[in-house]
Structure 1
Amino acid sequence: MSNLILASQSPRRKDLLQQLQLSFTTISSDVDETVEPHLKPHEVVTELALRKAKVIAMKHSDSYVLGSDTVVALGDAILGKPQTDEEARSMLNMLSGKIHSVYTGVAILKGEEQSLFYEKTDVAFWELTPAEIEEYIASEEPFDKAGAYGIQGLGAKLVKEIKGDYYAVVGLPISKVYRALREMGYLQ
Protein backbone atom coordinates (compact mmCIF):
# COMPACT_ATOMS: atom_id res chain seq x y z
CA MET A 1 0.00 0.00 0.00
CA SER A 2 1.18 3.52 -0.80
CA ASN A 3 2.00 5.92 1.99
CA LEU A 4 -0.39 8.59 3.18
CA ILE A 5 1.17 11.96 3.99
CA LEU A 6 -0.61 14.73 5.87
CA ALA A 7 0.83 17.97 4.49
CA SER A 8 0.43 19.79 7.80
CA GLN A 9 1.91 20.12 11.25
CA SER A 10 -1.49 21.01 12.74
CA PRO A 11 -1.98 18.94 15.88
CA ARG A 12 -5.75 19.15 15.38
CA ARG A 13 -5.61 17.72 11.85
CA LYS A 14 -3.22 15.02 12.98
CA ASP A 15 -5.56 14.01 15.83
CA LEU A 16 -8.57 13.96 13.50
CA LEU A 17 -6.81 11.81 10.90
CA GLN A 18 -5.73 9.40 13.65
CA GLN A 19 -9.42 8.88 14.47
CA LEU A 20 -9.70 7.08 11.11
CA GLN A 21 -7.03 4.60 12.31
CA LEU A 22 -4.95 5.15 9.20
CA SER A 23 -1.19 4.95 9.08
CA PHE A 24 0.29 8.25 7.91
CA THR A 25 3.22 10.58 8.27
CA THR A 26 3.18 14.35 8.56
CA ILE A 27 5.33 16.74 6.61
CA SER A 28 5.00 20.48 7.04
CA SER A 29 4.10 22.29 3.84
CA ASP A 30 5.37 25.82 4.18
CA VAL A 31 3.66 27.64 1.31
CA ASP A 32 2.86 31.24 0.54
CA GLU A 33 -0.73 31.68 1.74
CA THR A 34 -1.28 34.92 -0.14
CA VAL A 35 -4.39 34.70 -2.31
CA GLU A 36 -6.21 37.00 -4.69
CA PRO A 37 -8.48 39.32 -2.68
CA HIS A 38 -11.50 38.68 -4.93
CA LEU A 39 -11.65 34.95 -4.10
CA LYS A 40 -14.63 33.64 -2.14
CA PRO A 41 -13.91 31.72 1.10
CA HIS A 42 -14.49 28.29 -0.50
CA GLU A 43 -12.09 29.22 -3.31
CA VAL A 44 -9.46 30.32 -0.80
CA VAL A 45 -9.52 27.05 1.15
CA THR A 46 -9.45 24.83 -1.93
CA GLU A 47 -6.63 26.88 -3.47
CA LEU A 48 -4.53 26.73 -0.30
CA ALA A 49 -5.25 23.04 0.34
CA LEU A 50 -4.11 22.26 -3.21
CA ARG A 51 -0.98 24.40 -2.82
CA LYS A 52 -0.05 22.61 0.41
CA ALA A 53 -0.59 19.17 -1.09
CA LYS A 54 1.29 19.96 -4.33
CA VAL A 55 4.47 21.11 -2.60
CA ILE A 56 4.74 17.75 -0.79
CA ALA A 57 3.47 15.64 -3.71
CA MET A 58 6.28 16.94 -5.93
CA LYS A 59 8.77 15.12 -3.69
CA HIS A 60 6.54 12.11 -2.91
CA SER A 61 4.76 11.23 -6.17
CA ASP A 62 4.22 7.61 -5.10
CA SER A 63 2.27 8.66 -1.97
CA TYR A 64 -1.21 9.94 -1.28
CA VAL A 65 -0.78 13.52 -0.06
CA LEU A 66 -3.51 15.30 1.89
CA GLY A 67 -3.49 19.08 2.17
CA SER A 68 -6.10 21.11 4.01
CA ASP A 69 -6.93 24.68 4.95
CA THR A 70 -9.64 26.22 7.14
CA VAL A 71 -11.02 29.76 7.27
CA VAL A 72 -13.73 31.47 9.29
CA ALA A 73 -15.89 33.86 7.30
CA LEU A 74 -18.53 36.36 8.26
CA GLY A 75 -20.25 36.81 4.91
CA ASP A 76 -17.35 36.95 2.44
CA ALA A 77 -15.00 38.58 4.98
CA ILE A 78 -12.35 36.07 6.07
CA LEU A 79 -11.22 36.30 9.69
CA GLY A 80 -7.65 35.16 10.15
CA LYS A 81 -5.72 34.26 13.28
CA PRO A 82 -5.52 37.20 15.70
CA GLN A 83 -2.08 38.43 16.67
CA THR A 84 -3.10 40.72 19.53
CA ASP A 85 -5.73 40.93 22.26
CA GLU A 86 -7.38 43.77 20.33
CA GLU A 87 -7.65 41.70 17.14
CA ALA A 88 -9.13 38.77 19.10
CA ARG A 89 -11.58 41.10 20.87
CA SER A 90 -12.63 42.63 17.55
CA MET A 91 -13.23 39.23 15.93
CA LEU A 92 -15.17 37.84 18.88
CA ASN A 93 -17.33 40.98 18.99
CA MET A 94 -18.02 40.60 15.25
CA LEU A 95 -19.09 36.97 15.74
CA SER A 96 -21.14 37.61 18.89
CA GLY A 97 -24.81 36.79 18.39
CA LYS A 98 -24.31 36.01 14.70
CA ILE A 99 -24.06 33.05 12.37
CA HIS A 100 -20.76 32.69 10.55
CA SER A 101 -19.36 30.01 8.25
CA VAL A 102 -16.31 27.82 8.59
CA TYR A 103 -14.87 26.50 5.34
CA THR A 104 -12.37 23.65 5.22
CA GLY A 105 -10.81 22.75 1.90
CA VAL A 106 -9.16 19.40 1.19
CA ALA A 107 -6.85 18.30 -1.61
CA ILE A 108 -5.73 14.69 -1.94
CA LEU A 109 -3.13 14.01 -4.61
CA LYS A 110 -1.68 10.75 -5.91
CA GLY A 111 0.42 11.09 -9.05
CA GLU A 112 -1.84 12.72 -11.65
CA GLU A 113 -5.00 11.89 -9.72
CA GLN A 114 -6.61 14.41 -7.39
CA SER A 115 -9.66 14.88 -5.21
CA LEU A 116 -10.46 18.48 -4.35
CA PHE A 117 -13.43 19.51 -2.20
CA TYR A 118 -14.54 21.72 0.65
CA GLU A 119 -17.00 21.57 3.51
CA LYS A 120 -18.99 24.58 4.76
CA THR A 121 -20.39 24.56 8.29
CA ASP A 122 -22.53 27.35 9.74
CA VAL A 123 -21.80 28.23 13.37
CA ALA A 124 -24.05 30.39 15.56
CA PHE A 125 -22.51 32.19 18.54
CA TRP A 126 -24.34 33.19 21.68
CA GLU A 127 -24.55 36.91 22.36
CA LEU A 128 -21.25 37.32 24.22
CA THR A 129 -20.77 39.66 27.16
CA PRO A 130 -17.60 41.77 27.39
CA ALA A 131 -16.62 39.69 30.45
CA GLU A 132 -16.97 36.41 28.50
CA ILE A 133 -14.81 37.80 25.70
CA GLU A 134 -12.12 39.01 28.12
CA GLU A 135 -12.10 35.69 29.97
CA TYR A 136 -11.70 33.80 26.72
CA ILE A 137 -8.89 36.07 25.51
CA ALA A 138 -7.12 35.60 28.87
CA SER A 139 -7.09 31.82 28.20
CA GLU A 140 -4.84 32.58 25.17
CA GLU A 141 -6.77 30.00 23.14
CA PRO A 142 -7.85 32.49 20.43
CA PHE A 143 -4.33 33.20 19.19
CA ASP A 144 -3.62 30.21 16.95
CA LYS A 145 -7.18 29.81 15.71
CA ALA A 146 -8.89 31.22 12.65
CA GLY A 147 -11.71 33.51 13.76
CA ALA A 148 -10.20 33.71 17.27
CA TYR A 149 -11.84 30.57 18.68
CA GLY A 150 -11.46 26.81 18.88
CA ILE A 151 -14.70 24.85 19.00
CA GLN A 152 -12.86 21.81 20.38
CA GLY A 153 -11.59 23.73 23.42
CA LEU A 154 -12.87 26.49 25.68
CA GLY A 155 -14.40 28.11 22.62
CA ALA A 156 -17.14 25.47 22.77
CA LYS A 157 -18.92 27.62 25.37
CA LEU A 158 -19.27 30.44 22.82
CA VAL A 159 -21.12 28.24 20.32
CA LYS A 160 -24.90 28.13 20.40
CA GLU A 161 -25.43 25.83 17.41
CA ILE A 162 -23.76 24.36 14.35
CA LYS A 163 -25.20 23.18 11.06
CA GLY A 164 -22.83 20.95 9.18
CA ASP A 165 -19.72 18.94 9.93
CA TYR A 166 -18.26 19.54 13.40
CA TYR A 167 -14.94 18.00 12.35
CA ALA A 168 -14.62 20.46 9.48
CA VAL A 169 -14.82 23.28 12.03
CA VAL A 170 -11.98 21.65 13.99
CA GLY A 171 -9.94 21.43 10.78
CA LEU A 172 -10.63 18.29 8.73
CA PRO A 173 -13.94 16.78 7.51
CA ILE A 174 -12.82 13.24 8.31
CA SER A 175 -15.84 11.42 6.92
CA LYS A 176 -15.43 13.04 3.48
CA VAL A 177 -11.66 12.48 3.63
CA TYR A 178 -12.19 8.78 4.36
CA ARG A 179 -14.58 8.40 1.43
CA ALA A 180 -12.31 10.33 -0.93
CA LEU A 181 -9.34 8.13 -0.01
CA ARG A 182 -11.48 5.05 -0.62
CA GLU A 183 -12.63 6.34 -4.01
CA MET A 184 -9.02 7.05 -4.98
CA GLY A 185 -8.02 3.48 -4.17
CA TYR A 186 -6.08 4.11 -0.97
CA LEU A 187 -8.48 2.00 1.09
CA GLN A 188 -9.37 -1.42 -0.29
Structure 2
Amino acid sequence: MILLASQSPRRRELLNQIGVAHQVISVDVDETPLESEAPLDYVRRIALDKAAAGHELASDSPVLAADTCVVANDTILGKPDDEEHAIRILRQLSGATHEVHTGVALIHDGRQHYRLSSSQVRFRHISTAQARRYWATGEPADKAGAYAVQGLGALFIEHISGSYSGVMGLPLFETGQLLAKAGLLTV
Protein backbone atom coordinates (compact mmCIF):
# COMPACT_ATOMS: atom_id res chain seq x y z
CA MET A 1 0.00 0.00 0.00
CA ILE A 2 1.32 3.42 -0.93
CA LEU A 3 0.06 6.86 -0.04
CA LEU A 4 -0.78 9.20 -2.89
CA ALA A 5 -0.18 12.84 -1.98
CA SER A 6 -2.73 14.15 -4.46
CA GLN A 7 -6.44 14.89 -4.63
CA SER A 8 -6.46 14.33 -8.40
CA PRO A 9 -9.05 11.76 -9.47
CA ARG A 10 -7.03 11.23 -12.66
CA ARG A 11 -3.95 10.14 -10.70
CA ARG A 12 -6.08 7.73 -8.67
CA GLU A 13 -7.57 6.27 -11.87
CA LEU A 14 -4.12 5.82 -13.38
CA LEU A 15 -2.78 4.02 -10.28
CA ASN A 16 -5.85 1.79 -10.34
CA GLN A 17 -5.16 1.07 -14.02
CA ILE A 18 -1.78 -0.44 -13.16
CA GLY A 19 -3.06 -2.23 -10.05
CA VAL A 20 -1.31 -0.15 -7.38
CA ALA A 21 -3.09 -0.23 -4.04
CA HIS A 22 -3.12 3.25 -2.57
CA GLN A 23 -4.75 5.65 -0.19
CA VAL A 24 -5.05 9.38 -0.78
CA ILE A 25 -3.62 11.89 1.66
CA SER A 26 -4.12 15.61 1.46
CA VAL A 27 -1.06 17.86 1.46
CA ASP A 28 -0.80 21.62 1.27
CA VAL A 29 2.09 22.86 -0.85
CA ASP A 30 2.56 26.35 -2.27
CA GLU A 31 2.76 25.80 -6.03
CA THR A 32 3.83 29.34 -6.90
CA PRO A 33 6.82 29.29 -9.28
CA LEU A 34 9.93 30.96 -7.91
CA GLU A 35 11.26 34.00 -9.72
CA SER A 36 13.18 32.89 -12.84
CA GLU A 37 12.57 29.21 -12.00
CA ALA A 38 12.93 26.98 -15.05
CA PRO A 39 9.93 24.71 -15.76
CA LEU A 40 11.89 21.48 -15.20
CA ASP A 41 13.23 22.78 -11.88
CA TYR A 42 9.73 23.89 -10.89
CA VAL A 43 8.01 20.56 -11.56
CA ARG A 44 10.80 18.68 -9.73
CA ARG A 45 10.61 20.97 -6.71
CA ILE A 46 6.83 20.78 -6.41
CA ALA A 47 6.66 16.97 -6.84
CA LEU A 48 9.37 16.48 -4.20
CA ASP A 49 7.74 19.03 -1.86
CA LYS A 50 4.40 17.21 -2.13
CA ALA A 51 6.05 13.86 -1.40
CA ALA A 52 7.93 15.35 1.56
CA ALA A 53 4.74 16.91 2.94
CA GLY A 54 3.03 13.53 2.67
CA HIS A 55 5.98 11.80 4.31
CA GLU A 56 5.72 14.20 7.27
CA LEU A 57 2.14 13.02 7.79
CA ALA A 58 2.91 9.31 7.48
CA SER A 59 6.61 8.52 7.68
CA ASP A 60 6.08 4.75 7.87
CA SER A 61 4.50 4.46 4.41
CA PRO A 62 5.81 5.02 0.90
CA VAL A 63 4.52 8.34 -0.43
CA LEU A 64 4.04 9.05 -4.13
CA ALA A 65 3.43 12.54 -5.47
CA ALA A 66 3.37 14.22 -8.86
CA ASP A 67 3.12 17.64 -10.41
CA THR A 68 2.34 18.66 -13.96
CA CYS A 69 3.10 21.90 -15.70
CA VAL A 70 2.15 23.11 -19.15
CA VAL A 71 4.79 25.28 -20.81
CA ALA A 72 4.44 27.57 -23.82
CA ASN A 73 7.28 29.83 -24.95
CA ASP A 74 9.27 28.92 -21.82
CA THR A 75 6.41 30.18 -19.62
CA ILE A 76 4.62 27.97 -17.11
CA LEU A 77 0.88 28.13 -17.70
CA GLY A 78 -0.81 27.22 -14.46
CA LYS A 79 -4.44 26.63 -13.66
CA PRO A 80 -6.68 29.47 -14.84
CA ASP A 81 -7.79 32.04 -12.28
CA ASP A 82 -11.06 32.76 -14.09
CA GLU A 83 -12.73 32.60 -17.49
CA GLU A 84 -10.70 35.39 -19.07
CA HIS A 85 -7.45 33.83 -17.92
CA ALA A 86 -8.53 30.46 -19.35
CA ILE A 87 -9.41 32.08 -22.68
CA ARG A 88 -5.96 33.72 -22.82
CA ILE A 89 -4.26 30.40 -22.08
CA LEU A 90 -6.28 28.46 -24.66
CA ARG A 91 -5.72 31.13 -27.30
CA GLN A 92 -1.98 31.00 -26.56
CA LEU A 93 -2.01 27.21 -27.08
CA SER A 94 -4.16 27.51 -30.22
CA GLY A 95 -2.43 26.33 -33.40
CA ALA A 96 0.86 25.73 -31.60
CA THR A 97 2.90 23.04 -29.90
CA HIS A 98 3.51 23.25 -26.17
CA GLU A 99 5.27 21.07 -23.61
CA VAL A 100 3.81 19.16 -20.70
CA HIS A 101 6.20 18.12 -17.94
CA THR A 102 5.17 15.81 -15.14
CA GLY A 103 7.51 15.07 -12.29
CA VAL A 104 6.89 12.01 -10.12
CA ALA A 105 8.45 11.70 -6.68
CA LEU A 106 8.54 8.77 -4.28
CA ILE A 107 9.78 8.78 -0.71
CA HIS A 108 10.38 5.27 0.58
CA ASP A 109 12.65 3.93 3.31
CA GLY A 110 14.03 7.41 3.94
CA ARG A 111 15.11 7.99 0.35
CA GLN A 112 13.74 10.32 -2.32
CA HIS A 113 13.36 9.10 -5.88
CA TYR A 114 12.33 11.19 -8.88
CA ARG A 115 11.45 10.71 -12.55
CA LEU A 116 10.40 13.19 -15.24
CA SER A 117 8.11 12.77 -18.21
CA SER A 118 8.14 15.41 -20.95
CA SER A 119 5.71 15.47 -23.87
CA GLN A 120 4.89 17.79 -26.73
CA VAL A 121 1.25 18.53 -27.50
CA ARG A 122 0.04 20.28 -30.67
CA PHE A 123 -3.32 22.06 -30.58
CA ARG A 124 -5.49 22.84 -33.57
CA HIS A 125 -6.66 26.43 -33.97
CA ILE A 126 -9.23 27.39 -31.35
CA SER A 127 -11.45 30.44 -31.72
CA THR A 128 -12.34 32.64 -28.76
CA ALA A 129 -15.94 31.42 -29.03
CA GLN A 130 -14.79 27.78 -28.88
CA ALA A 131 -12.61 28.55 -25.85
CA ARG A 132 -15.57 30.21 -24.12
CA ARG A 133 -17.84 27.22 -24.83
CA TYR A 134 -15.16 24.92 -23.46
CA TRP A 135 -14.85 27.05 -20.31
CA ALA A 136 -18.64 26.83 -19.84
CA THR A 137 -18.34 23.04 -19.48
CA GLY A 138 -16.38 23.54 -16.26
CA GLU A 139 -13.66 21.15 -17.35
CA PRO A 140 -10.73 23.57 -17.69
CA ALA A 141 -11.25 25.37 -14.37
CA ASP A 142 -8.78 23.32 -12.31
CA LYS A 143 -6.43 22.06 -15.00
CA ALA A 144 -2.88 23.16 -15.74
CA GLY A 145 -2.98 24.78 -19.17
CA ALA A 146 -6.78 25.06 -18.92
CA TYR A 147 -7.50 21.71 -20.61
CA ALA A 148 -7.93 18.00 -19.91
CA VAL A 149 -6.47 15.55 -22.41
CA GLN A 150 -8.83 12.83 -21.12
CA GLY A 151 -11.93 14.99 -21.52
CA LEU A 152 -13.41 17.42 -24.02
CA GLY A 153 -10.00 19.07 -24.32
CA ALA A 154 -8.98 16.10 -26.46
CA LEU A 155 -10.96 17.70 -29.30
CA PHE A 156 -8.30 20.43 -29.50
CA ILE A 157 -5.32 18.05 -29.70
CA GLU A 158 -3.90 17.28 -33.14
CA HIS A 159 -0.85 15.37 -31.96
CA ILE A 160 0.94 14.15 -28.85
CA SER A 161 4.58 13.15 -28.83
CA GLY A 162 5.37 11.52 -25.52
CA SER A 163 3.28 10.11 -22.71
CA TYR A 164 -0.50 10.36 -22.79
CA SER A 165 -0.67 9.42 -19.09
CA GLY A 166 2.04 12.02 -18.41
CA VAL A 167 -0.13 14.70 -20.01
CA MET A 168 -3.00 13.42 -17.83
CA GLY A 169 -0.88 13.98 -14.74
CA LEU A 170 0.83 10.69 -13.84
CA PRO A 171 3.20 9.10 -16.38
CA LEU A 172 2.71 5.38 -15.88
CA PHE A 173 6.05 4.30 -17.34
CA GLU A 174 8.06 6.54 -15.00
CA THR A 175 5.77 5.79 -12.05
CA GLY A 176 6.20 2.07 -12.67
CA GLN A 177 9.98 2.50 -12.78
CA LEU A 178 9.99 4.27 -9.42
CA LEU A 179 7.72 1.74 -7.75
CA ALA A 180 9.57 -1.26 -9.19
CA LYS A 181 12.96 0.11 -8.13
CA ALA A 182 11.61 0.51 -4.59
CA GLY A 183 10.23 -3.05 -4.64
CA LEU A 184 6.62 -1.82 -4.54
CA LEU A 185 5.56 -3.08 -7.97
CA THR A 186 6.38 -6.26 -9.83
CA VAL A 187 5.52 -6.65 -13.47
TM-score normalised by the chain length of structure 1: 0.94
1:96-135, aligned counterparts within 5 Å? 96-135=94-133
Identity of aligned residues (%): 42
Q: Is the 8 A contact 2:115 2:178 kept in 1?
A: no
1:155 match? 153
Whole-angstrom distance in 1 between the partners of 2:92 and 2:33: 23
Which sections of structure 1, spanning at least 5 residues, go unmatched? none
Whole-angstrom distance in 2 between the partners of 1:170 and 1:157: 15
Q: Deviations over 1:128-162 (max 9, x none)?
A: 12332222122121111111111110000000100
Which residue identity lines up with residue 138 of structure 2 in the other structure? E
Question: Number of aligned pairs?
Answer: 186
Which residue identity lines up with residue 35 of structure 1 in the other structure? P
Structure 1 window deviating more from structure 2 (33-42 vs 64-73): it is: 33-42
Q: Over aligned residues, Cα RMSD in angstroms? A: 1.2
Q: Is the 8 A contact 2:3 2:22 kept in 1?
A: yes
Structure 1 window deviating more from structure 2 (54-63 vs 10-19): it is: 54-63
* Deviation (angstroms), 1:183: 0.9
1:47 match? 45
Which sections of structure 2, spanning at least 5 residues, go unmatched? none
1:78 match? 76
Structure 1 window deviating more from structure 2 (29-38 vs 107-116): it is: 29-38
- Structure 1 segments (4+ residues) deviating >3 Å: none
Whole-angstrom distance in 2 between the partners of 1:181 and 1:63: 13
TM-score normalised by the chain length of structure 2: 0.95
Q: Deviations over 1:21-62 (max 9, x none)?
A: 111111011112233221111111110010000011123222
* Deviation (angstroms), 1:64: 1.1
Partner SS state of residue 13, structure 1? helix
2:90 match? 92
1:62 match? 60
Whole-angstrom distance in 2 between the partners of 1:11 and 1:187: 21
Q: 1:172 to 1:112 in 2, by over 3 A?
A: same
Whole-angstrom distance in 2 between the partners of 1:167 and 1:110: 23
Q: Is the 8 A contact 2:104 2:174 kept in 1?
A: no
